[in-house]
Structure 1
Amino acid sequence: MEKLAERLQKIRRDFHQNYAERSTQEFKTCKRIQEILKDYPAANVFPIGKTGVMAVFEGKGRGKTIMLRADTDALPIQETNDFAHKSIDPNVSHKCGHDGHTTILIGVAEMLQENPIEKGKIVLLWQPAEENGMGARAVLEDDKFAEIKPDQVFALHNLPGFPLHKIVYKKGAFTANVKSLIFDFNGKTAHAAEPEHGFNPAFAMAEILEKCKKMTHNEPKDENFFLITPVYADLGTKDYGISAGKASLHLTIRSWSPELFDQLTDELIREAEKICQRENLKLEISWTQEFFSNQNDEKAVEIIQNSAEELELNHQKINEPFKWGEDFGLFTQLIPGAMFGIGSGENCPALHNPDYDFPDEITLTASKLFYKILENAV
């Protein structure tokens, strides 16, 4: 296993340095994964979801089809680290650990090659475009996925702030529903000295933002957790003699419950429409970057827990979901499964920080746990 750990570290750092690509642009990454998988002839390897990769291992006997998923995309963040494997692209870097997740699944592929599962079918998915919420849907809509029909699906995410190697899990919601709402306001420009001759969106925006503040319940321990975060606003131009006639407001909204999410966002939209009608504004509404909540199946979580115990790993059941969105949630909405976490260090920089780097120490631990999950699931 020591040689495998060294090999995986080399692979992970190569991905970090040379294969940091933004969502939907993972062309080099896709090609590189397929090149590496040539070392494992037991797998049927093919592209999926435009820039994703899938490897299928067939057991000799009948059994369940179990899918493991890793994500592959990077972020438009300038890296501040100065180590030897720093990203060669100054504008894109792996600041969420997807280089590590990708490598973990390569470790599983090697284990399956060396010690095949006796029955069932194992599907390894390297999914693109997790960061913008487009990758899972692209995979699901690919005709090749319809032939797979997984019985269960599993994924992980590294977790800064938790001790190295610690396994974190919970039943039910593991991550939040997250979706971004865009309000575009169209009024009428006027002279700044005579704003009464136009329709300025500024006060409508202010009123809607006040409504957002009142609706927000940022208490993760509560089932009715609901958080609206203003992320971008644009109003008029820097021409001080002109009363603005156009504006845009972008909000990111998250909750544990899909039903509560729909109920409260509908309420917000109705209120915004009422305000805009009163202010003589035309309101255009659009949505972007949709992430469904990871809804962890009870039996899948039991498999994760039992597998961690068999490997004598430190593990913890948590009470509250994580507030961030994760594209794997779309899979768990449709297929029984679960996402779990693995600690990447109590002093590890936070995800999406410019000084973050995936800790190589946990790669082999995660690969072993995934393999044990497969043994217990099929």
Structure 2
Amino acid sequence: MPVINRIAGFAAEMQGWRHWLHRNPELKFDCHKTSAFVVERLREFGITEIHDGIAETGVIAIIEGCGDGPTIGLRADMDALPIDEATGLDHASETPGAMHACGHDGHTTMLLGAAKYLAETRNFAGRVALIFQPAEENGGGAGVMVDAGVLDRFNIAEVYALHNIPGHPEGAFHTTPGPIMAAVDTFHIHISGKGGHAAMPHDTRDPVMAAVGICTAIQTIVSRNHHALNDLVVSVTQIHTGSADNVVPDTAYICGTVRTFDKDVQAMVKDRLAAIVAGHAASFGVTAALDYEEGYPATVNHDAQTRFAAEVARDVVGRENVDAAAARQMGAEDFAYMLEARPGAYLFLGQGPGAGLHHPAYDFNDEISAVGASFFARLVERAQPLT
């Protein structure tokens, strides 16, 4: 079964929604205009049960079906990124320093499209909970909503989400059971030594050399401390120290990211980082403190729900356009918190060629909005059919 005709029929309206959202990006939990726009559209669709102000600016709307049954949750993220847009498009961001560089404007649009159709037809049993979430990029809005009790409050039994992916065929889905995106942690290392004149380094305790040694040793965590078949990334991304060519500074700072799928691997990385920092501090005569921040957990799809979602996707775009055993990715996603609390699945939807995610030249492909909306709608109708 292809894209739903009724949804294809209001594709131009969906494009208008998306372009408004793109022109008005908001960051983190500060999605007030976006939330108000979403609520206004939902009311236009005739949806009467709308709950806003969840996790500051999140929205949950309930559509009642035509019979008794469970509640299925569909999630879209709403926040943008702190990037200056470089597309030059007519609908480019009108907010300096912010743009929808990850396609959350498109995700919101796809869920609104599904909402419009489902509110018109109500060809399903039970209820659907439309979850419009802030702060995916920074702040873990999904976790905040879970902690606020929304899954229990609205009796949500399963949860599903989509993310666009540039560089993959337009309208093609891919997903996989089990881990699909990595856990993301951040480490900060603060080194304190004794500065002085660079011509007399023997009078100093050089934090620069300690930082260099630590950064080099960190690379051995991946190359020497873990099994080669276990996915792991440890990347140093920042080193800050010094202010002049002839001064040994007092301090140095190192920052980086850790990506894992397995909690035992994560624990090993934490232990090795602590040992490397302590050992190098002692050997260079400096002091060093490690601050390890655990971020989003791994996004782990549930087997039965992933198989089901893949079948729904095949209904919409054809069997040949769905890869249900795709390679997992080292990026992170806060939908992980919802999948820890409820069974469900996370899928990627290809949007064709173009700039990558988080790039200032990125723009969501409006041609896939009807595909994503049709997927969400069919998911509900197939998961909770009328008897």
Report the TM-score range of the alignment, normalised by the length of the smaller protein.
Answer: over 0.9
- Residue 229 in 1 paired to residue 226 in 2? no
Q: Conserved in 2, the CA contact under 8 Å of 1:133 and 1:291?
A: no
1:140-289 correspondence to structure 2 within 5 Å: 140-216=146-222, 223-236=229-242, 238-288=243-293
Show CA shifts across 1:241-264 (max 9, x none).
432111111101112323312222
Aligned AA for 1:343?
G
- Residue 349 in 1 paired to residue 355 in 2? yes
1:75-114 correspondence to structure 2 within 5 Å: 75-114=81-120
- Per-residue deviation, 1:130: 0.8
Q: Conserved in 2, the CA contact under 8 Å of 1:177 and 1:258?
A: no
Instruction: State the match for 1:317 in structure 2.
Output: 324
- Per-residue deviation, 1:266: 2.1
Task: Give, in whole Å, the separation in 1 of the partners of 2:48 and 2:72.
Answer: 14
Task: Tell me whether 365-374 or 347-356 shows the greater mean CA deviation.
Answer: 347-356
- Per-residue deviation, 1:145: 4.7
- Per-residue deviation, 1:341: 0.7
Change (3 A) 1:319 1:11: closer
Change (3 A) 1:104 1:181: same
SS in 1 for 2:70: strand
- Residue 328 in 1 paired to residue 335 in 2? yes
1:11-50 correspondence to structure 2 within 5 Å: 11-17=17-23, 19-47=24-52, 48-50=54-56
Q: Conserved in 1, the CA contact under 8 Å of 2:237 and 2:256?
A: yes
Q: Conserved in 2, the CA contact under 8 Å of 1:303 and 1:376?
A: no
Task: Give, in whole Å, the separation in 2 of the partners of 1:111 and 1:202.
Answer: 60
Task: Give, in whole Å, the separation in 1 of the partners of 2:9 and 2:382.
Answer: 26
Task: Give, in whole Å, the separation in 2 of the partners of 1:133 and 1:300.
Answer: 27
Q: Given the alignment, which residue of 61, 64, 68 partners 1:62?
A: 68
Change (3 A) 1:111 1:288: farther
Task: Tell me whether 226-235 or 181-190 shows the greater mean CA deviation.
Answer: 181-190
Q: Conserved in 1, the CA contact under 8 Å of 2:66 and 2:122?
A: no
- Per-residue deviation, 1:213: 1.7
Q: Conserved in 2, the CA contact under 8 Å of 1:77 and 1:92?
A: yes
- Per-residue deviation, 1:33: 1.3
- Per-residue deviation, 1:217: 5.6
Task: Give, in whole Å, the separation in 1 of the partners of 2:292 and 2:373.
Answer: 36
Q: Conserved in 1, the CA contact under 8 Å of 2:198 and 2:248?
A: yes
SS in 1 for 2:238: strand
SS in 2 for 1:62: coil
- Residue 127 in 1 paired to residue 113 in 2? no
- Per-residue deviation, 1:162: 1.1
SS in 2 for 1:249: strand
Scaled by the length of structure 2, what TM-score is found? 0.90
Change (3 A) 1:117 1:246: farther
- Per-residue deviation, 1:116: 1.3
SS in 2 for 1:63: coil
Task: Give, in whole Å, the separation in 2 of the partners of 1:6 and 1:199.
Answer: 65
Change (3 A) 1:61 1:27: same
Task: Give, in whole Å, the separation in 2 of the partners of 1:99 and 1:114.
Answer: 23
Task: Give, in whole Å, the separation in 1 of the partners of 2:73 and 2:150.
Answer: 14
Q: Conserved in 2, the CA contact under 8 Å of 1:133 and 1:326?
A: no
Task: Give, in whole Å, the separation in 2 of the partners of 1:357 and 1:89.
Answer: 15
Task: Give, in whole Å, the separation in 1 of the partners of 2:123 and 2:61.
Answer: 14
Instruction: State the match for 1:139 in structure 2.
Output: 145
Task: Give, in whole Å, the separation in 1 of the partners of 2:144 and 2:282.
Answer: 38
Q: Conserved in 2, the CA contact under 8 Å of 1:64 and 1:377?
A: no
Instruction: State the match for 2:3 in structure 1.
Output: none
Task: Give, in whole Å, the separation in 2 of the partners of 1:224 and 1:170.
Answer: 17
Task: Give, in whole Å, the separation in 2 of the partners of 1:223 and 1:27.
Answer: 44
SS in 2 for 1:291: coil
Change (3 A) 1:80 1:317: same
Change (3 A) 1:144 1:174: closer
Give the CA RMSD over aligned residues. Answer: 2.1
Q: Conserved in 2, the CA contact under 8 Å of 1:187 and 1:201?
A: yes
- Per-residue deviation, 1:144: 4.5
